[in-house]
Structure 1
Amino acid sequence: MIKQIQNKLEEIEKKENVKIIYAVESGSRAWGFESQDSDYDIRFIYVRPLEFYLRLDKTSEVIEWQLDNIFDINGWDIKKACQLLYKSNPTLLEWCNSPIIYRIAPEFEHFRNISKQYFIGKSGLYHYLKMAKNHYAKYGQDEQIILKKYLYILRPILCCQWILEHNTNPPVRFETLLKYYFKGDLLEIVQKLIEEKKKMTEKDLIDKIEIIDSYINAQFKILNEQVENFRDIPNNNYDEINKLFLKYIKN
């Protein structure tokens, strides 16, 4: 599969006339709880020739390459990536910290390094709490739930806890968060869910588990207040990102 992915990246470069400087896995495979039929969520950042950035007309900053049962492939232009870095976009920051890297150009290492300087805890907290609530809202009153949804709810809750405690990007791997925050029965139950998910399909249902539901509801009450009261100081200096952007498009 790695070879197929590399071939697709090369195909994108040729047909779109871009240079891909970073490509990673995102979603369940990066988080460490993919199912048997999980697709490959491939995300990339690319640079176009200099004249593209000097045009007066507005041009697309996104390449949506493929979406089917096997691959979900899309990428962002370096200009868009730099703008989102300034805003501490949580999705971009997860890409920067993905444990599964398909390609990384030497010059992109600096981008990953300075991403830590532009982290805004409040942005991450709002993002992850909203994500958890949206997933839970669909199943709150049902007796059964799609197994993966439990993990899709628990992971962002733990990401919120990490940000509140450390004010840094949370680990991408769910297992890291799980072992840091869970102990005893709850840890064992969730670890079993992860193992079960790897044997099941994306749509398989399970009966809801009381100890997990109680934990989720309790955390929502706690996090609502903590997130609203959280304060941090964003980095409002564009200089470092501007230098980075100019370096990429001039090379």
Structure 2
Amino acid sequence: MVLTIHQREVAVRVLAAESSRRSHVVISLSGAHAYGFPSPDSDLDLKAVHMLPAREFLGFPRTPAPAERLEVIDGVEIDYSSNELGGVLLGLIKGNGNYFERFLSRFALSTSPTFEVLRPIVQRALSTRVGRHYFGFATQQRNEWERGGRKSAKKLLYVLRTATTGTHLLRTGELETDLSVLASRYGLGDAVELIEAKKRGEKSELADALAEKWAARIDGVFTRLVEAEKSSVLPVEPTNEAELEAALIALRST
């Protein structure tokens, strides 16, 4: 079980409350729990997609703001955010890996009939555009790790997780967010020592020698991601943009 019984109970309460405010398509677990390195003090990172009523889109054009909730409940830190379906589908066309993870992750906590309709369509929307997303996000995380003096086990693991999820997706067309599942497959088997350090606490720091070892290897992680994009099994561009739009129109019309 990824979550403890207490965390799951809190999550159920939060999801029930948020589901009373908006119609969720899917709510997925993200963050350390979905990435394979949760610690006892890790927050619950809940990423959702919701659909607003069609009447909300009549009149002047507007971009619906995401719904967000950051709160500590019974000792569990909750980080919930949800984006409206239309913007999410546009993001998929652009290769937004964050949105693909909400639909294709195996860590979905709550789904809907709409999700069941959309999931195979979303799968068909994958393209090598996701490579740019994962490269950019991993680069941002690498910069944060280096600005912090290369001390944070968590920040380094986020770099490795992001780049390796992207590499695997480009090579196989399969989305896997759990670094502990992917690490050995991509020459990162010794990342287990980082995972064990992180599981001791969110703020776990790396010994200097360990930080230096990974600093020398990190370019190779990015090189592997770039090479995966060049030889990817995915199409260069999404092949079903019209299908995504037709599905959105049909769902808004019901």
Length-normalised TM-score, structure 1: 0.82
CA distance in 1, matches of 2:153, 2:137: 16
Displacement of 1:127 in angstroms is: 2.0
Q: How does 1:75-154 map to 2 (within 5 A)?
A: 75-121=82-128, 123-140=129-146, 144-154=150-160
Deviation at 1:72, TM superposition (A): 0.5
Q: How many residues align?
A: 241
- Check the 8 A contact 1:49/1:249 in 2, yes or no: yes
Offset of 1:241 from its aligned partner? 1.1
With over 3 angstroms needed to count, the CA separation of the structure-2 counterparts of 1:6 and 1:128, relative to structure 1, is same
Contact 1:23–1:42 (8 Å) recurs in 2: yes
CA distance in 1, matches of 2:47, 2:145: 29
What secondary structure sits across from 1:162 in the alignment? helix
Equivalent position of 2:50 in the other structure:
46
Provide the residue aligned with 2:37 in structure 1.
33
Is 1:157 the counterpart of 2:163? The answer is yes
- Mark the runs of 5 or more structure 1 residues left unpaired by the alignment: none
Show the 5 A alignment for 1:172-251: 172-182=177-187, 187=189, 189-200=190-201, 202-208=202-208, 209=210, 210-220=212-222, 222-223=223-224, 226=227, 232-235=235-238, 237-251=240-254
Instruction: Give the root-mean-square deviation of aligned CA atoms.
Output: 2.7
Question: What displacement does 1:91 show?
Answer: 0.5
Query: Which residue of structure 2 aligns with residue 60 of structure 1?
Result: 64
2:28 to 24, 31, 37: 24
- Tell me what 2:4 maps to: none
Q: Distance in 2 between matches of 1:228 and 1:175?
A: 22
- Which residue is 1:13 aligned to? 19
CA distance in 1, matches of 2:48, 2:95: 17
| Counterpart Cα distance in 1 of 2:9 and 2:39 | 21
Judge conservation of contact 1:93–1:169 (CA < 8 Å) in 2: no
- How far the C-alpha of 1:141 sits from its partner, in A, is 8.2
Tell me by how many angstroms 1:203 deviates. Answer: 1.7
- Single out whichever of 141-150 and 232-241 deviates more from structure 2: 141-150
Percent identity over paired residues: 22
Q: Does the aligned pair in 1 maintain the 2:39–2:198 contact within 8 Å?
A: yes
1:104 Cα deviation after fit: 0.3
- CA 62–155 in structure 1, closer or farther in 2 if over 3 Å, else same: same
- Is the 1:9–1:20 Cα contact (8 Å) retained in structure 2? no
Flag structure 2 segments of 5+ consecutive residues without an equivalent: 1-6
| Further displaced range: 209-218 or 172-181 | 209-218
Secondary structure of the structure 2 residue equivalent to 1:206: coil
